[in-house]
């Protein structure tokens, strides 16, 4: 199943959830439990909308990525010691610090 189909199904399901919540709210009124359920349903809807945005951005990002297939060789030889001059060891502190 594609992401688009899954998101469409999710939208249908959240629509059903919202209809049920509205029906329950009219039956049970504005009680603390109903307020929590309404807030939760609204939060789920907001999260799904954010997921829609993220999925769209990810699809665009995937469409823009092209792999050249070119491999870059990285030598196994040591780097020149001058390369590491004035570099601090992360998490350990600098070499010149006392």
Distance CA 49, CA 37 (A): 18
DSSP label of 71: -
Helical (H) or strand (E) element with 83: none
pLDDT of 97 reads 55
Is residue 2 pLDDT above 70, yes or no?
no
Higher-scoring residue by pLDDT: 7, 24: 24
Tell me phi and psi for residue 52, to 5 degrees: -60, -45
pLDDT of 1 reads 47
Query: What average pLDDT is seen over the chain?
Result: 81
Is residue 85 pLDDT above 90, yes or no?
no
| pLDDT tens per residue, range 25-63 | 999 999 999 999 999 999 998 998 888 888 877 775 565
């Amino acid at each position: 199943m594609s992401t688009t189909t899954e998101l469409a199904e999710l939208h249908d399901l959240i629509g059903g959830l919202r209809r049920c919540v509205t029906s329950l709210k009219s039956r049970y009124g504005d009680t603390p439990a109903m307020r929590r359920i309404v807030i939760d349903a609204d939060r789920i809807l907001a999260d799904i909308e954010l997921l829609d945005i993220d999925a769209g951005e990810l699809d665009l990002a995937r469409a823009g990525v092209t792999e050249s297939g070119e491999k870059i060789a990285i030598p196994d030889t040591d780097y020149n010691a001058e390369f590491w001059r004035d570099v601090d060891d992360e998490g350990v502190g600098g070499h010149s610090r006392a």
